[in-house]
Amino acid sequence: MNNADLNARKNAATPRGVGVTCDFYAQRAENAELWDIEGRRFIDFAAGIAVNNTGHRHPKVVAAMRAQLDRFTHTAYQVVPYASYIELAERINARAPGDFAKKTAFFTTGAEAVENAVKIARAATGRPGVIAFSGAFHGRTLMGMALTGKVMPYKAGFGPFPSDVFHAPFPNPLHGVTSADSLKALDTLFKADVDPKRVAAIIFEPVQGEGGFYQAPADFVSALRKLCDQFGILLIADEVQTGFARTGKLFAMQHYDVAPDLMTIAKSLAGGMPLSGVVGRADIMDAAAPGGLGGTYAGNPLAVAAALAVLDVIDEEQLCERADRLGEKLKAKLTDVRGSVPQIIDVRGPGAMVAVEFCRPGTHEPDADCAKRVQARALERGLLLLVCGVYSNVIRFLFPLTIQDAVFDEALVILDDVLKETSRAAVA
């Protein structure tokens, strides 16, 4: 069995709509490294799209799952409950932002968490409308796609979408959109498209993921909180990608002086196991009637066991502090190489949620080709990177926060070489 054979089998057996970045197949992985079926080694700066903040197969996470395997694997929590679900909810409630009583419900995927946050908001307010932002990504379900502010490849050909979903521009000073511009657009939306008294929630990402790793400005988040309070609208923070130490805080909303009413969590919550959740104000979380929330696999006991171990690892290995340290080191490298790579227009991101954006030299015209060349050349050198952004001109870095220092330094050398090579080739 080799990669070429598996590619042929994949193309014959699976649909093209499931896009795949790599043309090789994983055999094993450990922390920040993985090996394909032909024995080649790669440094993983994708982490399963921000899922493996605690690395591949962290020993404590694996041990917790093995112990749970010896007890039971599935009962469906809403049929026969188990104590670990309650313990995890208690720990999330205690750590989530906001000085008020909270409750948490668990689900399976990030999109499922978003869907249920909308359901809870509508049940609590009796209103239908939801406002999201340009560049946002909230999932591939119908409601998730409706909320997502990026057409290609997520929304094209899949409509019609659920009604009562509206969009406003997300602040992006680099591309000429200020916080004031976004707030003015919301005001226009309320005047032209939807009465604010019909809006159940405003949902936003503290740092946009697929949209390009743009962080919501503090003044914008504070203004959103005031706007929601003014009109009785609930504020939902989508922390599916930003959560669990990635930004240097356990949750990205802890960078701000206001709290959301509801927050969605997933990805690195369970160290590679499928688990998501909605955490929020207790009275709001109780708005749905019994049976209105749940799912057959929601709060799977193996995933819950993994999540409890993940929270321990984050604390014991001080991963929030490590995210800051590694993120600053990466940004320093990217800033240093920027002098030799004129295509780099911006280096940004809190903690270890770092991105580099490429535009054509001397302009603000997005250069998607440059980002793709960097990604492809890095992969040839054994470094796995992901592209993002509305224009696909951004490289995002999502390495495990547990990455060994020597492996991290090795990746930075590869990155330095690849960026300079790509820039020289473009000029030649």
Which CATH number do you get for residue 185?
Answer: 3.40.640.10
pTM above 0.75, yes or no: yes
Same domain membership, residue 366 and residue 356? yes
Is the pLDDT assigned to residue 24 strictly greater than 80? yes
Same domain, 143 and 153: yes
Q: Is residue 62 in a domain?
A: no
Whether 173 has a pLDDT exceeding 60, the answer reads yes
Domain end marker among 316, 342, 368: 316
What is the arithmetic mean of pLDDT over 17-32? 95
3-state DSSP assignment of residue 356:
strand
| pLDDT mean over 157-175 | 95
Q: Is the pLDDT of residue 281 over 80?
A: yes
- Decide: 319 and 296 in contact? Cβ < 8 Å: no
For residues 53 and 80, membership in a common domain is answered with no
Indicate whether 208 and 351 sit together in one domain.
Answer: no
Of the three residues 292, 316, 340, the one that is the final residue of a domain is 316
Torsion angle of the four alpha carbons 302, 304, 308, 311, in this order, in degrees rounded to the nearest 10 = 110
Output the pLDDT for position 144: 96
pLDDT band at residue 428, thresholds of 50, 70 and 90?
low
Q: What domain range is 128 assigned to?
A: 72-316
pLDDT (0 to 100) of residue 425: 73
Clarify whether residues 25 and 124 are in a common domain.
no
Whichever domain contains 356, its CATH number is 3.90.1150.10
Residue 386: inside a domain? yes
- How large is the angle between the packed helices 83-95 and 301-316, nearest 10 degrees? 40
Say how far apart CA 395 and CA 379 lie, in whole Å. 13
**Amino acid in the structure at residue 342:** P
25 and 86 in a single domain? The answer is no
Query: Within a domain: residue 66?
Result: no
Q: Verify that 110 and 200 share a domain, yes or no.
A: yes
Residues 205 and 80 occupy one common structural domain: yes
| pLDDT for 128 beyond 90 | yes
pLDDT digits (tens, 9 = 90+) for 237-274: 999 999 999 999 999 999 999 999 999 999 999 999 99
- Residue whose pair of structure tokens reads 């604010």 in the numeric block: 196
- Strands in 26-30's sheet, in edge-to-edge order, are 26-30, 33-36, 41-44, 383-384
Q: Provide mean pLDDT across the span 323-345.
A: 97
**Does residue 84 share a domain with residue 128?**
yes
| Mean pLDDT within 29-57 | 98
Residue 64 lies in a domain: no
Q: What is the dihedral of CA 370, 373, 375, 376, to 10 degrees?
A: 170
* 265 lies in the same domain as 398: no
Per-residue confidence band for 1, with pLDDT thresholds at 50, 70 and 90: confident
Q: What mean pLDDT is reported for the chain?
A: 96
Q: What pLDDT digit, counting tens, does each position of 407-426 carry?
A: 999 999 999 999 999 888 76
Dump pLDDT digits (tens) for 53-66. 999 999 999 999 99
pLDDT tens digits, one per residue of 354-376: 999 999 998 889 999 999 999 99
* Distance, CA of 344 to CA of 370 (rounded, Å): 9
Among the candidates 250, 282, 316, a domain finishes at 316
Q: Quick one: pLDDT at residue 316?
A: 98
Which residues neighbour 13 within 8 Å (Cβ) at sequence distance 6 or greater?
A: none
In a domain, 396, yes or no: yes
Q: Which amino acid is at 82?
A: Y
Number of domains in the chain: 2
Average pLDDT over residues 56-81: 98
Same domain, 107 and 169: yes
